[in-house]
A and B are shown apart, each in its own frame.
Chain A
Amino acid sequence: MTAGLRWVGLLPAGLIVLPLLAFALGMHVPTALIIFLLLIGLMLTGMPISIALGLTVLTYMFAMTNVPITAVALKLFTGIEKFEIMAIPFFILAGNFLTHGGVARRMIRFASSMVGHWHGGLGLAGVLACALFAAVSGSSPATVVAIGSIILPAMVKQGFPTRFGAGVITTSGALGILIPPSIVMVMYAVATNTSVGQLFIAGIIPGIALATMLGMTTWYRARKNNYPRLQRATWAERWRAFRESIWGLLLILVVIGGIYTGIFTPTEAAAMSAVYAFFVAVFVYRDMPLRKVPKVLLDSANMSAMLLYIITNAVLFSFLMASEQIPQAMAAWMLDKGLGVVAFLLFVNVLLLLAGNVMEPSSIVLIMAPILFPVAMKLGIDPVHFGIMMVVNMEVGMCHPPVGLNLYVASGITRMGITELTVAVWPWLLTMLVFLVIVTYWPALTLWLPQTLGMMR
């Protein structure tokens, strides 16, 4: 503990007390500044983000407005009274049914039979398996654990350095939030009133593109270092592996197909995918005995409730922002400064990458999207493009310290320190950053598919 840190320790307390003091003394501080300082101070104390958001709003309502405070309690209910939001618990449930080592093994077998004979061998298979498993399970840390703890020992046994495997799995595990169905996309859709269906379809090509780029990095480094390859699988083996993994993969098809053809609304598609996942896990794969189902329900409810609670309070907070006209003021300021689309997108990316240092994706999207979105609209940026860009940015945040969730999980299963792992991850992290630039400044990559399919103008 350095002396410097001891002073930093007083920072949250100062950030909470100062704005309140300034307000109590009747000093002329802009309300927006008070709100933000208070929020940052409360968050830095380490309390749940939902509580920090809620307390900020409560303080604001209590001290600075004449809005009846009962409105807060009511908003806590009506804020999430939307059917679209309910896709989140359903997707979490669907993912949890299929988050199982057995499913991971099937995906790995399929992936290695398809690409294992190229340079990179198991590493390349790891990228593909992560992409598939992450899409189905919907959870990045779970992907890193499930795929990583099966494939990493096998890679080490074949002679890959631990670093290489750890780098591949840590970054590829994050692919799940870009490949639909994605919970972070639903969050963005909820926060900005964008169509979930359009976002899902728009995520397909960037998802495949990023997986390909991560695969290329793996391939290149493996070829340079001459890492072992697998024997080419016969078509019969491939067919068998495909038939085993198809039941899990069909979940993606149920969701995308169902939404695209208009058979289901996104929330209905989510519910159908949950029932489908239950059926596959219990009766087709038989990974899960029926008596485990209540446990899965409870775990899913726990995770969903946590996210819904953040949403509730984030809705309250964005209600506060709107009533103080903060996004409008920001938009006016930026346009006034002559900030163009290019500079704004750069600013957004840097801001989000910084936020990614301290928070996890759902909270960032829920807090930042309502603030940044109105500005983006003023500048004529497409809402779907903006959303996909945010999601890609979130992926990067999951793979670097201090808060990259994937990094911590990977450090758990590889027993490598965070610092060592950060070094191991960098080639793939750099690839992701390059991809982030591509997605940011090339909207056609995102918008081509939904436009071609006639889902957008």
Chain B
Amino acid sequence: MLRYLDHLEEWLIAFLMGGATLLIFVAVVHRYAAGVPVPVLQDALLKIHLSWAQELCIYMFIWMAKFGAAYGVRTGIHVGVDVLINRLDPGMRRRYILFGLLAGALFTGVVGSLGANYVWAIGHTDQTSADLELPLWIVYLCIPCGSYLMCFRFLQVAVSFIRTGTLPHHDIAHVEGVEEPGAAYPIADDLHPADLGQRGER
């Protein structure tokens, strides 16, 4: 069940990324192609309006940002100021890391609820977006959904941290097509909290 959620999340944000890129590419090509005087083609192209492309691209990326931020909690990509806590003893560090994870869950939970309220409120009006004329409540639905998902991810990471003392680590320095001599040990960078076992290596 959770595996399906993971995959859904991954496919959604990868699709939004690729889709938005193609969309803007097509819109730009269309803008210049429609200016080329080719008899039948030009008429056909002029009939297609892509003025909504920009708005759709923005919405796609905002959706990607909300769900991607949740995915980012799972992959440990979010950066913080970890200079201090990475030098504390494990007991203290454990408390701060847990505090941070729960604070994340609190913030995203609150924002999710505020967003849900807001979406509920405009769901009863017929406000639509400027160019696409989508109902606004659908557009804003990403706030509660994305935030609640992110809240869930924070709790998930917190539980696994309590159990194992490890956090998900994002590999900042992975490059395809390079034999990495550095892969032998993880790169600790003080922008992310270190696992409990990692003290004293620096």
Contacts and interface: CB of A to CB of B under 8 A. Distances in A.
Decide if A and B are genuine partners. yes
Interface of A: 1, 5-6, 8-9, 11-12, 42-52, 54-55, 58, 69-70, 72-74, 76-77, 80-83, 85-86, 89-90, 93, 99-102, 104, 141-142, 144-146, 149-150, 153, 263-264, 267-268, 271-272, 274-275, 287-288, 292-294, 297-298, 300-306, 308-310, 312, 357-360, 363, 402-403, 405, 408-409, 411-413, 415, 418
Contacts of A100: 175-177
Contact of A403 (B69, B83, B96): B83
Contacts of A287: 176-177
A240 B37 CA distance: 39
B28 A288 contact: no
B175 A45 contact: no
Nearest to B115: A73
Contact of B114 (A72, A357, A359): A72
Given A80-B65, A83-B54, A89-B64, A145 B178 contact: yes
A49 B115 contact: no
9 contacts: A49-B80, A73-B111, A83-B54, A85-B61, A268-B24, A272-B25, A304-B61, A308-B69, A312-B65
A271 B25 contact: yes
A413 B78 contact: no
Contacts of A298: 10, 13-14, 17
Interface string B57-81: 1100110111111011001011111
A249 to B, nearest CB: 18
Given A44-B84, A73-B111, A308-B61, A89 B176 contact: no
B80 A43 contact: yes
B132 to A, nearest CB: 13
Interface in B95-115: 96-97, 99-101, 103-104, 106-108, 110-111, 114-115
A297 B14 contact: yes
Interface in B1-23: 10, 13-18, 20-22
B81 A309 contact: no
B34 interface: no
B173 A142 contact: yes
A340 B58 CA distance: 41
A51 B17 contact: no
A393 B114 CA distance: 38
B118 interface: yes
B82 interface: yes
B191 A360 contact: yes
B117 interface: yes
A413 B111 contact: no
A316 to B, nearest CB: 10
A54 B97 contact: no
Contact of B111 (A54, A301, A310): A54
A83 B177 contact: no
B36 to A, nearest CB: 14
B126 interface: no
B92 to A, nearest CB: 5
A100 B62 CA distance: 28
Contacts of B106: 55
A81 B58 contact: yes
Given A141-B172, A413-B180, A415-B181, A309 B21 contact: no
A81 B190 CA distance: 31
A230 B107 CA distance: 57
B189 to A, nearest CB: 4
Contacts of A45: 85, 96, 99-100, 103
B152 interface: no
Ranked nearest first, the 9 interchain pairs of A and B with the lowest CB-CB distance are A305-B68, A101-B177, A47-B100, A412-B182, A48-B78, A73-B114, A308-B65, A271-B24, A101-B178
A46 B75 CA distance: 16
Given A74-B118, A302-B77, A304-B65, A272 B175 contact: no
Contact of B117 (A12, A70, A77, A150): A70
A145 B16 CA distance: 29
B173 A302 contact: no
Contacts of B161: none
Contacts of A73: 111, 114-115, 117-118, 143
From B18, B75, B87, residue with most partner A Cβ within 10 Å: B18
B17 A413 contact: no
B88 interface: yes
A167 B170 CA distance: 25
A271 B21 contact: yes
A145 B175 contact: yes
B17 A297 contact: yes
